[in-house]
Amino acid sequence: MRTKPARVVAIYPGSFDPITNGHLDLIERGAAFFDKLIVSILRNDEKQALFSVEERMEMLSEVVGGFSNVEVGSFDGLLVDYAAQNGASVILRGIRAVSDYEYELQMALMNRRLRPEIETVFLMAGEAHSFVSSRLVKEVIRLRGNISGLVPPSVEGRLRKRVLGEP
């Protein structure tokens, strides 16, 4: 039987390109559960991101600054190795729909096989955010749609500047 570590550290990984209010909701809720929550961006050179890892880290830092137990980081390689290097015993993942669950289950089971001491915890997306994804937000802004309320205001400004060329 495993015992609870004295301090529970969790990793919330993702691309966060850009961070949405759905991500922020999960961060807020995760910060209440864990002693330390590391929100970390996967460095994936194969994906064509709108924002660089550094820009995404900057945006994350801006919006999570009010949480004393939340840090921002980035990693490449295996998530479970990164988690172990940071003393994390939990990987936090969000689930919006059944389609998310199927993918996340595969990842969780592989991570458990690689590092059985690290658990994956799923949180359901809040109802207000269950349809929001970074991909969808980028698509809507490209088509000049209204994204207010879907992303933090500072992120909306960056999106308008990057995608629409607004000052």
Residues classed as catalytic: 23, 47, 96, 134
The pair of structure tokens assigned to 36 is 């330390």
d(CA 66, CA 144): 31
Q: In sequence order, what are the residues at sequence separation of 6 or more whose Cβ sits closer than 8 angstroms to the Cβ of residue 163?
A: 50, 138, 141, 142
Strands (E) across 25-161 are located at: 36-42, 70-75, 90-95, 119-124
d(CA 96, CA 131): 7
Secondary structure class of 12 (helix, strand, coil):
strand
Among residues 103, 85, 94, which one has the least CA distance to residue 33? 94
d(CA 150, CA 140): 11
